[in-house]
Amino acid sequence: MSSGKKALRRLGRRRRGEHLEACAGPVLAQVRACLPQRLAPGRLLGLYWPMASELDLRPLAEDLPGRLALPAVLTPAEPGGAAALHFRRWQPKAPLAPDHCGIPSPAEGPNLPAETLGLLLVPALAFDPRSGIRLGYGGGWYDRLRADPLWRRVPALVVLPAACLLDDLPHDPWDVPFDGWIDETGLHPIPGRKIATS
């Protein structure tokens, strides 16, 4: 990991933490406002289990009962297989278990195919609004998932405070750009990308 990315991650954590309390309600309201036009009937919304200073979108369970999914980094049953990011259905009070990264994830149920998801909402430490590059924690799980053409077709938006937008983020050849972002001021598609109802 480059020292430049380490410094940017520290900056992103600090900024996100400083703005979390003020942004939490407004960002959730902006997500709720955009969902009716962005999530097709019958499709699931991919969320995340909030860690540290990540914005908490779990209240969307009230709006979309039975239509949410959470990520789980799982190790395959076959020996020697590599861990990978999957999505599983989730609803409040469903049993959770730590995944390969120690993050709470659905303990039961099948891994979902890409075509069941209509939109992914992903946290970030920082985001480049020109290139669509997201700075996460460095695991590369979303990049590997979205390298699959089927998953790349699922519109994916980053969710973060506007204070975490940074131009010219460094990126690697395997980084898969996102289609836009949502902050406390609204939904912002990346120019030239279509975020249509899937």
Nearest to 124 by CA among 155, 161, 152, 160: 160
At 7-61, the pLDDT tens digits run: 999 999 999 999 999 999 999 999 999 999 999 999 999 999 999 899 999 999 9
Q: How far apart are CA 131 and CA 133, in angstroms?
A: 5
Q: What does the alpha-carbon distance between residue 140 and residue 110 come to, in Å, rounded to a whole number?
A: 22
What number is the average pLDDT over the span 68-77? Answer: 92
Amino acid, res. 22:
A
Report pTM: 0.93
Domain ranges of the chain: 3-72+82-186
Specify the pLDDT at position 80.
72
Task: Dig out the tokens for 190 from the structure.
Answer: 């990346």
| DSSP-assigned beta bridge partners for residue 122 | 158
Q: Say how far apart CA 35 and CA 26 lie, in whole Å.
A: 15
CATH of domain 3-72+82-186: 3.40.50.10420
User: What per-residue confidence (pLDDT) applies to 192?
Assistant: 72
In our burial notation (b when 16+ CB lie closer than 10 A, e otherwise), range 76-109 reads eeeeeeebbbbbbbbeeeeebeebeeebbbbeee
pLDDT at 1 exceeding the cut of 80: no
pLDDT at 197 over 50: no
